C-alpha cells in the first residue's frame, strides 16, 4: 500500500460529493472495504485519497415508496437480510444477500460496493436484475439514473464517472408466488460463485407459467436477464422435460455470450442443472426418482 495514501471520512453526502468533485481522479471511494482493501493490498489500485462514505446517513436508508424499494448504497448485506421492506417487496434479494461471504463480511459489505465492483460473480446482481433495478448516481452538480443493465458494462467495468457516487438503488417490487436465488461454488461459504441464478415466477389458474424472470451471473461477462429462457417457458405447463429443455436454452445462450473456455463443458451442464433445480418447485408432481439427483448434480467437480 502507498505510504502517502490519505484517508478522509465524509459525514454528509454534500461533503463527499464536494470532495469527489475536487479530487475525483485521485480518489477511491470506500464503503465496507471488502473489495477495495484487497485491491489496495495487492497493488492493483493507484490513488492518493481514500474517501470513506460508509457513515453518511443518506446512503444508509431503506424505504418503500409504493411498489418501489429505495436502498441506500451503504446498506450492508446483513441489514438487507434483516429488512422487513426487502422481505416484503424483493425477497429474492434477501436470499442472495444471505449467501454473500460470511457473517463478518455481510456485516460490512454493502450493496453499493457490490454494484460498483461490477464483478461478473457479484451475488446481488442477478437478484437486482430480476427486479429491474436502477442505479442512482450523483455528482456535486447532477444526478442521473441508469438501469442496472446499462450500468454494468463488462467484467469489473461500469458506467460510473469518477466524480459520481452511487447513492442508492431503486428496485421494482414484483408480486411473484415463486422466487429463488441459487448459487454454485466450490464450498458452501466464502466462495466466489461459479454460477448464480435468480428467478421470479407466477403460474396462472390453469397451472401454466404466466410470467417469469430469469437472471444469470458468473457465467457471462456481466450478469444478465435471459429473455430467451423466459419466452421459452411462459405459457407452458411445467414439466421435467420442459425444464431440461429450458436449461439447454440457458446454457446455449451462456456459451453464445461468453465463448467456449476450458470450463465450458462443466458450466453448460451446471447451468442446465441449476435452472432445473431452481424451477423444480413449480412442478405439480415432482419427481421421477432420478430427477432430483440429476438436478442436484451441479456441484463443481474440480
Ligand atoms: C472473504 C470475502 C468473501 C466475499 N464473498 C462474496 C460473495 O459471496 N459474493 C459476492 O458477491 N461478493 C463477495 N465478496 C466481495 C465483496 O464483499 C462484495 O463485492 C461487497 O459487496 C463489496 O462491498 P463493500 O462495501 O465492501 O465495497 P468496497 O470494498 O468498499 O468498494 C468496492 C468498490 O466499489 C466502489 N464503491 C463502493 N461504494 C461506492 C459508492 N457508494 N459509490 C461509488 N463507488 C463505490 C469502491 O470504490 C470500490 O471500487 C467477498 C469478499 C471477501 C473479502
Residue 294 has pLDDT above 60, yes or no: no
Question: What are phi and psi for residue 79, nearest 5 degrees?
Answer: -65, -40
Percent of the chain predicted with pLDDT > 90: 85
- Confidence band (pLDDT; 50, 70, 90) for 131? very high
Task: Give the pLDDT score at 289.
Answer: 44
Q: Is the CA virtual torsion 96, 101, 107, 111 positive or negative?
A: negative
Task: Give the pLDDT score at 302.
Answer: 41
Q: Provide the 3-class DSSP secondary structure of residue 17.
A: helix
Rounded Cα distance, 302 and 80, in Å: 33
Residue 140 has pLDDT above 70, yes or no: yes
Residue 192 has pLDDT above 80, yes or no: no
89-93, 130-134, 188-192: least confidently modelled range? 188-192
Distance (angstroms) between ligand 1 centre and the Cα of 115 equals 8
Ligand 1: nearest atom to the Cα of 116: 34
CB 54 within 8 A of CB 32: yes
How do residues 83-127 score in pLDDT, each as one tens digit? 999 999 999 999 999 999 999 999 999 999 999 999 999 999 999
Distance (angstroms) between ligand 1 centre and the Cα of 110 equals 6
Rounded Cα distance, 152 and 223, in Å: 8
* Structural domains in the chain plus CATH codes: 6-52 (3.30.43.10), 58-172 (3.30.465.10), 178-296 (3.30.390.50)
Distance (angstroms) between ligand 1 centre and the Cα of 119 equals 9
Range list of H helices, 9-136 = 13-23, 36-41, 77-82, 84-89, 91-98, 103-106, 111-117, 124-130
Task: Give the pLDDT score at 296.
Answer: 52
Residue 187 has pLDDT above 60, yes or no: no
Radius of gyration of the chain (CA): 20
Range list of H helices, the chain = 13-23, 36-41, 77-82, 84-89, 91-98, 103-106, 111-117, 124-130, 148-151, 227-233, 240-258, 264-279, 289-296
What is the pLDDT of the chain when averaged over all its residues?
Answer: 92
> What's the average model confidence in pLDDT over 165-188?
90
Grid cell of 163 as nine digits: 466524480
Q: What is the largest CA-CA distance in the chain?
A: 66
Name the residue of 50, 80, 93, 114 to mutate for ligand 1: max ligand atoms within 8 A of Cβ: 114
Residues with Cβ within 6 A of ligand 1? Answer: 28-36, 38, 53, 73, 100-101, 105, 109-110, 112-114, 116-117, 122-123, 160, 165-166, 190
Percent of the chain predicted with pLDDT > 70: 90
How do residues 226-244 score in pLDDT, each as one tens digit? 999 999 999 999 999 999 9
- Confidence band (pLDDT; 50, 70, 90) for 3? low
Grid cell of 288 as nine digits: 421421477
Amino acid at each position: 500500500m502507498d505510504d502517502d495514501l490519505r484517508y478522509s471520512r465524509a459525514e454528509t453526502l454534500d461533503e463527499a460529493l464536494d470532495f469527489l468533485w475536487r479530487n475525483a481522479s485521485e480518489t477511491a471511494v470506500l464503503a465496507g472495504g471488502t473489495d477495495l482493501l484487497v485491491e489496495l493490498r495487492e497493488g492493483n489500485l493507484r490513488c492518493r485519497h481514500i474517501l470513506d462514505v460508509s457513515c453518511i446517513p443518506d446512503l444508509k436508508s431503506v424505504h418503500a415508496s409504493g411498489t418501489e424499494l429505495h436502498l441506500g448504497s451503504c446498506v450492508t448485506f446483513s441489514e438487507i437480510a434483516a429488512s422487513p421492506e426487502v422481505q416484503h417487496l424483493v425477497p429474492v434479494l434477501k436470499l442472495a444477500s444471505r449467501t454473500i461471504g460470511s457473517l463478518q463480511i455481510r456485516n460490512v459489505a454493502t450493496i453499493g460496493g457490490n454494484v460498483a465492483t461490477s464483478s461478473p460473480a457479484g451475488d446481488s446482481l442477478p437478484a437486482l436484475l430480476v427486479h429491474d433495478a436502477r442505479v442512482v448516481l450523483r455528482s456535486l452538480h447532477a444526478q442521473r439514473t441508469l438501469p442496472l443493465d446499462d450500468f454494468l458494462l463488462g467484467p469489473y467495468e461500469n458506467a460510473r464517472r469518477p466524480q459520481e457516487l452511487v447513492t442508492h438503488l431503486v428496485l421494482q417490487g414484483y408480486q411473484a408466488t415463486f422466487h429463488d436465488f441459487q448459487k454454485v461454488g466450490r464450498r458452501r461459504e466464502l466462495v466466489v460463485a461459479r454460477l448464480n441464478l435468480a428467478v421470479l415466477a407466477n403460474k396462472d389458474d390453469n397451472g401454466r407459467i404466466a410470467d417469469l424472470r430469469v437472471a444469470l451471473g458468473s457465467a457471462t461477462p456481466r450478469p444478465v436477464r435471459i429473455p430467451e429462457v423466459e419466452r421459452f417457458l411462459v405459457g407452458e405447463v411445467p414439466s421435467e422435460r420442459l425444464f431440461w429443455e429450458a436449461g439447454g436454452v440457458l446454457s446455449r445462450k451462456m456459451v453464445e455470450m461468453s465463448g467456449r473456455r476450458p470450463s465450458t463443458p462443466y458450466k453448460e451442464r451446471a447451468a442446465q442443472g441449476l435452472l432445473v433445480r431452481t424451477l423444480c418447485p413449480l412442478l405439480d408432481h415432482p419427481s421421477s426418482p432420478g430427477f432430483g439427483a440429476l438436478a442436484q448434480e451441479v456441484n463443481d467437480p474440480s
